Amino acid sequence: MRISIYSVPFFVSILFLFFGLVSCFPDQNRNRGIDEDSYLILISIDGYRYDYTELFEPPTLTRIKKEGAWADLIPMFPTKTFPNHYSIVTGLHPQNHGIVSNSFYDPERKETYSISDRKQVEDGSWYGGVPIWTWAQRRGIKTASYFWVGSDAAIGGNYPDYYYKYDGSVPNEERVDQVVEWLKLPKEERPRLILLYFSDVDKQGHQYGPESEQTKQAVLAIDSMIHRLRTKLAEEVDLPINTIIVSDHGMIAQQACANRIDTRLFYDADDFEAVIHQGTQVQFYLKDSVRKDDVMKRMRRKANESKNVNLYERAQIPEHWQYNHNPRIGNILLKANSPFFFSEKPCEEEKTIGTHGYESNIKQMHGIFYATGPNIRPHTRTKNFKNIDLFPLYCSILEIPLPDRLDGHRTRLESIFISNKARKK
């Protein structure tokens, strides 16, 4: 093709225009890349007490705590596994998300929910609120969960894009390796929010006590899992990943015989439609036919004889516990003071010497929050905060709006968050 000399300036100007336009794009693309590509792995180490890192010196968690932002995480009442895991992913108090304890009775459904009953655990109709995986999916984000409480139930008809039915026997290595595999999926299939759960530290804490050698070994074993995850991510995945490590509650030592309170002293089973025993508290659901005032009077007389218990009518439960607006909370709550616990069997048969479930202001009930990654301010000790305050941090990292319905503080963790815009500068 013959090119006329007159056409050169034309080509040159076309070329300038082209490169001019292209040279504008890389910056925008880079910005967009940063904007789109922040990932979040939320890890729960069940029952990891606020002071285990200092007590047992796990090397990886110690490093992560120094490297990123950290605080003691304040659980919700009751400081049990299910209500707290579900508060962590909904930003709601247990009375507002409906999982008011590990076991509870619903007087309207006339059914009992219990974490050991697979049918109930997998029935999404028990769970209120919108968990973060559903909230993120609504904005087109893929999500995955390896065993987070609630993720194997169709909540509002929805599951995470990738999830498994809970099976505590699945080795931790397998859970970690699957997280890495999820992150190696092609972009369209790859989850940007991943939840991961480990139960071992809680289990050993119950069986051997929080300060036992066995609990220490469980902490070190989970530490090596987090090390495995970090190493694999560094070697096999090139993505801007934020990691938030939390626990649902702590653990306190108890003496099976010295701290045992016989629950049977306090009530007459005939008065109740259901009585739900939870070790650290007992919930009583009155029959319609009995008078609450009469029952309370009798129970109060008994409760006043012990300085190790508190008895509440639901409406009288201290306001700051945020635990009196749901019929799934018994009409009457009998609570043991730490480290006492209720039981109906002889203390020789008690298998646990560690427990949790007491009020959130008991220090031994506090858990951990360690966060690290490109969107987290490094080397930051932030003020201790409630686990319902976490939700806005997930939204900031994933760049999605906050829900209207949120019990947590909307800006509590703003100071530890670094936006992608700020990262570029």
Q: Which amino acid type is present at position 180?
A: V
- Residue whose CB is less far from ligand AMP, 103 or 420: 103
Rg of the chain, C-alpha, whole Å: 26
Residue 162 contact among Zn ion, ligand AMP, none, beta carbon within 5 to 8 Å by kind: none
Closest-by-Cβ residue to ligand AMP is 81
Contact present, 84 and 249 (Cβ < 8 Å): yes
Question: Of these residues, 81, 90, 143, 372, which one is catalytic?
Answer: 81
Active site residue 355: no
Tracing tokens 């290595």 back to the chain, one arrives at 173
Tell me how far apart the alpha carbons of residues 409 and 382 are, in angstroms, rounded to a whole number: 14
3-state secondary structure of 409: coil
Tracing tokens 């009457």 back to the chain, one arrives at 332
C-alpha dihedral, 129 to 326 to 337 to 406, nearest 10°: 30
Closest distance of CB 150 from ligand AMP, Å = 7
- Residue whose CB is less far from ligand AMP, 68 or 357: 357
Residue 102 contact among ligand AMP, Zn ion, none, beta carbon within 5 to 8 Å by kind: ligand AMP
Closest distance of CB 184 from ligand AMP, Å = 25
Contact present, 365 and 73 (Cβ < 8 Å): no
Closest distance of CB 202 from ligand AMP, Å = 5
Residue 196 contact among Zn ion, ligand AMP, none, beta carbon within 5 to 8 Å by kind: none
- Residue whose CB is less far from Zn ion, 232 or 277: 277
Contact present, 243 and 43 (Cβ < 8 Å): yes
Closest distance of CB 211 from Zn ion, Å = 16
Residue 149 contact among Zn ion, ligand AMP, none, beta carbon within 5 to 8 Å by kind: ligand AMP
If you write DSSP's letter for every residue of 98-109 in order, what string do you get? S--SSEEEETTT
The burial of 3, by beta-carbon neighbours within 10 Å (0-12 exposed, 13-18 middle, 19 or more buried), is given as exposed
Closest-by-Cβ residue to Zn ion is 81
Closest distance of CB 131 from ligand AMP, Å = 12
Closest distance of CB 249 from Zn ion, Å = 5
Tell me how far apart the alpha carbons of residues 369 and 69 are, in angstroms, rounded to a whole number: 8
Query: Which of these, 89, 145, 100, lies nearest to 126 by C-alpha position?
Result: 100
- Residue whose CB is less far from Zn ion, 206 or 335: 206
Catalog residues that contact Zn ion under the rule CB under 5 A.
46-47, 81, 202, 248
The burial of 232, by beta-carbon neighbours within 10 Å (0-12 exposed, 13-18 middle, 19 or more buried), is given as middle
Catalog residues that contact ligand AMP under the rule CB under 6 A.
46, 80-81, 102, 115, 121, 147, 149, 166, 168, 197, 199, 202-203
- Residue whose CB is less far from ligand AMP, 313 or 350: 350
Please count the CA atoms within 13 angstroms of the CA of 67 that sit on its side-chain side: 15
- Residue whose CB is less far from ligand AMP, 121 or 222: 121
Residue 157 contact among Zn ion, ligand AMP, none, beta carbon within 5 to 8 Å by kind: none
Q: Which residues contact 228 (CB under 8 A, 6 or more apart)?
A: 173, 176
Residue 393 contact among Zn ion, ligand AMP, none, beta carbon within 5 to 8 Å by kind: none
What amino acid positions are annotated as catalytic residues? 81
